[in-house]
Amino acid sequence: MIALSGDPNDEDSLRLFSKGLMARLDKDATLREELTRILGGENKVQEIVAKGGSTVRKVVQELSGTGQQRIEADNSVVEDVIQRVNSK
């Protein structure tokens, strides 16, 4: 059983709850999958970040399912990048 504190700022209770929840999710794959589904699924992120005058070339990102792909370039060069999303 996992108990909650009446005080949302109680760090000790939060730590205890988190530890108990992780232990439960490690042991119960069905609960873990259901909770993931309820919360919107896995959040997949693929990023290419080029900063400080760097150069990024010939990169392919392939994402299955839902998520996001992002390219960020700050005073840098990004060339020949392919992003693919394969929806399930």
> Is residue 56 located within the same domain as residue 68?
yes
Model confidence, pTM: 0.48
10-residue mean pLDDT series, the chain (88 residues)? 70 87 92 84 85 94 86 93 83
Q: Is there a single domain that holds both residue 15 and residue 28?
A: yes
CA-CA-CA-CA dihedral for 44, 85, 81, 72, to nearest 10: -40
Q: What pairs with residue 59 in β-bridges?
A: 81
Q: Rounded to the nearest 10 degrees, how much is the dihedral formed by the CA atoms of 72, 77, 78, 79?
A: 170
| 47 and 80 part of one domain | yes
Q: Are 2 and 32 in the same domain?
A: yes
Domain count, the chain: 2
User: What range defines the domain where residue 62 resides?
Assistant: 43-88
What pLDDT shows up at residue 23? 92
